[in-house]
Amino acid sequence: MHKTNLKIAGAFVVGFIAATGAWQSLNYANASNQETYRYLNLFGDVFDRVRADYVEEPDSEKLIDTAINGMLSGLDPHSSYMNPKRFKDMQVQTRGEFGGLGIEVTMEKEVVKVVAPIDETPAQKAGILSNDLITRIDGKEIRGLTLNEAVDKMRGKVGEPITLTIVRKGKDAPFDVTIKRAIIKIRAVRFNVERDDIGYIRISSFNDQTQDNLEKAVEKIKTQLGDKLKGYIIDLRNNPGGLLNQAISVSDSFLNKGVIVSTRGRNGSETDRSTATNGDLSDGKKIVVLINGGSASASEIVAGALQDHKRATILGTRSFGKGSVQTIIPLGSEGAIRLTTARYYTPSNTSIQAKGIKPDIKIEQELPEELKAQASRTTSEASLRGHLTGEGEGEESTGSSSYVPADKEKDLQLKAAIDLLDGKTVEQTPKKAEAPTTAQSGTSAN
């Protein structure tokens, strides 16, 4: 998740140094600075040596870009450097429209892994699935590229075709999929009426349009159903997150009071709380929220807030577990850095980092035969290399299924949500052993 309303995470502390130990503190600070300068000089020496002696003349801008990215990605999977082009792409993306294929991706074992295809995009229409591995782009190996480099190659002129080589568990051999690039217009909110008494609202991402679109959806459902309206299903499955302020607004839409989320930086004094204002958009109607292993970040904030305030029943499978906040810090004309600056906590003061939101009612989807050979578990935050450790030793989640059938008649989670709003008893899926997962690092949309 990232914030475009920038907040400096940290402060200059002005105070005094007690007489006892003052010189020792100053000497320690000086020694620390000297050590830092020594490493910076080392970096400069290596940079000069590479420019002077590498077998081919290197691109200095690319060297610096790679060095900065290495420093930030070494902190955690969600911190990174964006050069001016990528920063501009990110700003366009948060407005809900960008050029590309329409897939959320990450890196795994030097190839690109699909986290989830975005609704109604060329990638989804071409049959790209969660957990697909992309090994080649237009016939060229991905190995050796960074995630950002791979994403840049998948983006291009609108209308131009691109061929992706896919490895999918359950398939005997890699296969090619050709997709035409398009302007990806993310409809953050879609809605429809289930039967003639339930409003279904699908929130696929948290961009600048999410809150406005949600309000329009609720208003249209109210107008269409009137007094017959029993309640709402809010579908956050495979929602990878987005803007923090939009997650707070969406949560506030269904709450009258209380804390929505709190964030804490490195120091205890850096605690921010967001609280709900009076006014429930749904007029107190029953709400069921659907989540799964692809629900991350901002979507977990909404699920956690509504769960802790007992405003909604959370149904599905355990969420991804990304409980950290990234701040976008512009660097003038040199792009920006995305830096993890805080952990966030649900109203009950619970961190979901590397654990996820546990549903009130666990319902697993049934996999079709052609996907049963494929791992049914998505990778969770806990399995990302270098992730921030979650609070509570041994409680980290191994992730859960992110499969959602295209046919609503086969969607067990949606059916269970409808039954719940009808007042029926819903039986949970029996507990079974977690499937193993593999490590990833970082995610990106294109």
Annotated active-site residue 308? The verdict is yes
Average pLDDT over residues 161-175: 92
Q: What is the pLDDT of residue 29?
A: 60
Pick the catalytic residue from 322, 355, 397, 402: 322
Convert the pLDDT of each residue in 274-330 to its tens digit. 999 999 999 999 999 999 998 999 999 999 999 999 999 999 999 999 999 999 999
Q: pLDDT: is 144 or 26 the higher one? A: 144
Convert the pLDDT of each residue in 57-102 to its tens digit. 999 989 998 999 899 989 998 999 998 988 988 887 777 767 789 8
Average pLDDT over residues 332-358: 93
> Within a 10 A sphere around the Cβ of 375, how many other Cβ atoms?
16
Range with lowest mean pLDDT among 30-44, 354-368, 400-414: 30-44
Among the CATH numbers 2.30.42.10, 1.10.1270.20, 3.40.50.300, 3.40.190.10, which is that of 98-185?
2.30.42.10
**Percent of the chain residues topping a pLDDT of 70:** 85
Pick the catalytic residue from 308, 355, 376, 383: 308
Residue 26: pLDDT band with limits 50, 70, 90: low
pLDDT at 390 over 90: no
What letters, b where the CB count within 10 A reaches 16 and e where it falls short, cover 15-47? eeeeeeeeeeeeeeeeeeeeeeeeeeeeeeeee
183/186 Cα distance (integer angstroms) = 9
pLDDT at 165 over 50: yes
pTM: 0.76
User: Quick check: helix, strand or coil at residue 251?
Assistant: helix
Which residue in this structure is represented by tokens 């990106």? Answer: 444
Beta pairing, strands 111-117 & 103-108: antiparallel
Pick the catalytic residue from 130, 249, 251, 297: 297
Q: What is the pLDDT of residue 428?
A: 93
194/63 Cα distance (integer angstroms) = 54
Q: What is the pLDDT of residue 255?
A: 98
**Amino acid residing at 291:** I
pLDDT at 445 over 80: no
Alpha-carbon separation of residue 427 from 142, 198, 234, 400 (angstroms): 44, 21, 20, 18
173: DSSP letter? S
CATH topology of domain 189-439: 2-enoyl-CoA Hydratase; Chain A, domain 1 (3.90.226)
CA dihedral in degrees (245, 247, 249, 250; nearest 10)?
160
Annotated active-site residue 272? The verdict is no
> Within a 10 A sphere around the Cβ of 395, how many other Cβ atoms?
11
Convert the pLDDT of each residue in 234-271 to its tens digit. 999 999 899 999 999 999 999 999 999 999 998 866 68
Alpha-carbon separation of residue 228 from 15, 221, 222, 283 (angstroms): 63, 11, 9, 13
State the span(s) of the chain assigned CATH 3.90.226.10.
Answer: 189-439
Q: What is the pLDDT of residue 436?
A: 38
State the span(s) of the chain assigned CATH 2.30.42.10.
Answer: 98-185
Convert the pLDDT of each residue in 189-216 to its tens digit. 999 999 999 999 999 999 999 999 999 9
Q: Which residues contact 429 (CB under 8 A, 6 or more apart)?
A: 362, 363, 364
Q: What is the pLDDT of residue 237?
A: 96
Average pLDDT over residues 10-34: 48
> Within a 10 A sphere around the Cβ of 176, how many other Cβ atoms?
11
Q: What is the pLDDT of residue 403?
A: 87
